[in-house]
Amino acid sequence: MSPDERRAALVAALTEKGSLSPDWAPSVAAVPRHAFLPETIWADEGGGDAECTRSEEPERWLRLAYSDLPITTQWDDGADDGTRSTPTSSASMPTVVVEMLADLGAEPGHRVLEIGTGTGYNAALLSHRLGAEMVSTVEVDARVSARARTALRGAGYTPEVVCGDGSLGWGVRAPYDRIVSTVSVRHIPPAWLIQTRPGGVIVSPVSPLLGGGAVVRLRVDGEGTGSGRFTRSSAFMMLRQQRYEGAPVDDYLPGEWPGDSGRSWTELDPEAIGDDWLAQFACALALPDVYYRRNGFGEGWTWWLFDTAVTSWATVDSVPGQSWFEVRQSGPRRLWDEVEGAYRRWESAGRPGYERYGLTVTPAGQTAWLDEPGNLLK
């Protein structure tokens, strides 16, 4: 199949799936996704990320370019040491791309700022529909930015491409009617609120520390406050400025485990949370300053919970076949009790989905809520 035929097939598949709205279909039909991909890409077709080089496997490379799959285009911030551990740039899954564009609600005449240029494909879709003069896009990685600019020009699109810190937005062309982020954040940066016109919309993936992730759609009011609901689950790469590295375990636990911890038991297997993206997300929204690490032992797993203030820790041992699980907790907070409490409240509320949760964001911070802004999570 030719690129045009594959692009038409992708449009048909996304339309049949109900993801592609009629207003964005002409742009997806017109913009050549393959023109924004590098020579070597990686994609998971069911067996983990597998490398594909265009010159060696041209048919497979083109098929992947128009598959409804995320395509990794960079590892480890572009490190050239021959290893690959963490994907750090990609072409997002087309389903996610078009659904987020639908969330954005951008219309001709709107000025749009994109955070995370990546390959440039999303900026091209925006340029096709809105006009390139209405689109600015910011990318922190100089090589990724330069390649996207070249690809955009080669495809006939000339939005403003900026190499810079996306957490600062791009004040030069503010205010914007719409801001869309293609990287995930833990906290909506204040600059995005400030640079959004009253009545404007911010769409961004949010990934709390404890786990899970979802796309939020915020409407910004005349006071600089953004509020809105989550729309769908998401798993995006983190904005570099908001990556989190926890303190060493020794900062929490001087000496040997179990230290001065108290011992208790729980009926809740921590793997019940770890295996459920929505459950993780619900707990994480309620406990934004708690994170975990997970270590294998024998046939089971030990969950380590920590607070970002480095005051408290907990461990829970998940052992297959057991109905009770050992808990150790130390510090002024009982972190496992807090996590279990958040999980039980989620269960009691009927296991609400993403769309029942929301955020209210001001330049001073953000709060999460269930069903309505006054019903804060705690």
Rounded alpha-carbon distances, angstroms, from residue 262 to 9, 328, 341: 59, 6, 18
Strand locations in the chain, DSSP E?
Answer: 40-44, 49-53, 71-75, 87-91, 112-115, 135-139, 160-163, 176-181, 196-206, 214-220, 226-233, 262-266, 290-297, 300-307, 313-318, 325-330, 357-362, 365-370
Supply 354's token pair. Answer: 């993403």
Q: What is the DSSP string of 9-44?
A: HHHHHHHHHT-S-TTTHHHHHHS-GGGGS-SEEEEE
Q: Give CA–CA dist 350/151, Å, rounded.
A: 47
Supply 356's token pair. Answer: 């029942």
Q: Listing from the earlier edge strand, what are the strands of the sheet with 87-91?
A: 49-53, 40-44, 71-75, 87-91
Bridge partners of residue 72, in order along the sequence:
42, 90
Residue 92 among the catalytic residues: yes
Question: For the chain, first and last CA: distance in Å?
Answer: 54
Contacts of 225 (CB under 8 A, 6+ apart): 193, 360, 361, 362
Active site residue: 67, 89, 92, 145, which one?
92
Rounded alpha-carbon distances, angstroms, from residue 242 to 96, 118, 138, 183, 354: 22, 17, 16, 10, 22
Beta strands 135-139 and 112-115, pairing class: parallel
What's the length of the chain? 378
DSSP 274: H
Which sequence positions are flagged as catalytic? 92
